[in-house]
């Protein structure tokens, strides 16, 4: 067991708390959503695909996602002034979580999912997830 600063035994980290340290605000999940479902890859595309996120928030959250290993960035081959953002394997593994949040949001919060997305996921989750990775 890990020791705290005072020498006491610390409890093992709660997996929900550990996940929330990375994903604990709405903007982070919306960025992942935009990269995953809207296929946004550039900074401006990610920003426009959402709910009016301020540029400073987007910059901060992208940096955190990169630091945590969920997103990677590389220079745009066609315009050296721009960056291309994409999900890593760790980022793609958030897809089922986002889809389940979507199902919950539709059921209890009157959210509206894009046509056919939740139905395709319910019909064949493995096939649907594979299509997202393609």
35 and 82, same domain (yes or no): yes
Residue 28 in any domain: the answer is: yes
73 and 108, same domain (yes or no): no
Measure Cα distances from 115 to 1, 5, 118, 121 in Å: 48, 51, 8, 12
75-125 pLDDT per residue, tens? 999 998 999 999 999 999 999 999 999 999 999 999 999 999 999 999 999
73 and 130, same domain (yes or no): no
Residue 24 in any domain: the answer is: yes
**Among 119, 120, 118, residue whose Cα is nearest residue 100:** 118
119 and 99, same domain (yes or no): yes
Are 47 and 55 spatial neighbours (Cβ–Cβ below 8 Å)?
yes
Identify the domain containing residue 118 by its residue range. 94-134
For the segment 52-70, the average pLDDT, to the nearest whole number, is 95
pTM of the model: 0.85
Give CA–CA dist 83/71, Å, rounded.
12
pLDDT tier, 8 (very low <50, low <70, confident <90, very high otherwise): low
Give CA–CA dist 75/46, Å, rounded.
16
28 and 72, same domain (yes or no): yes
Are 83 and 42 spatial neighbours (Cβ–Cβ below 8 Å)?
yes
CATH (domain of 28): 1.10.10.10
For the segment 34-44, the average pLDDT, to the nearest whole number, is 93
Residues 6 or more apart in contact with residue 123 via CB below 8 angstroms: none
Are 43 and 50 spatial neighbours (Cβ–Cβ below 8 Å)?
no
- Count structural domains, the chain: 2
Q: How many helices (H) and strands (E) does the chain have?
A: 8, 2
């Amino acid at each position: 067991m890990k020791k705290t600063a005072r020498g006491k035994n610390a409890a093992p980290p709660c997996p929900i708390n550990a996940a929330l340290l990375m994903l604990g605000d709405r903007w982070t999940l919306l960025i992942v959503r935009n990269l995953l479902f809207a296929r946004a890859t550039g900074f401006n595309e990610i920003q426009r695909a959402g709910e009016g996120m301020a540029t400073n928030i987007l910059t901060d959250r992208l940096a955190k996602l990169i630091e945590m290993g969920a997103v990677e960035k590389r220079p745009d081959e066609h315009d050296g002034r721009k960056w291309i953002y994409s999900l890593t394997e760790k980022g793609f593994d958030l897809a089922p979580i986002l889809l389940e949040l979507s199902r919950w949001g539709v059921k209890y919060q009157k959210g509206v999912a894009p046509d056919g997305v939740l139905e395709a996921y319910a019909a064949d989750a493995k096939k649907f997830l594979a299509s997202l990775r393609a």
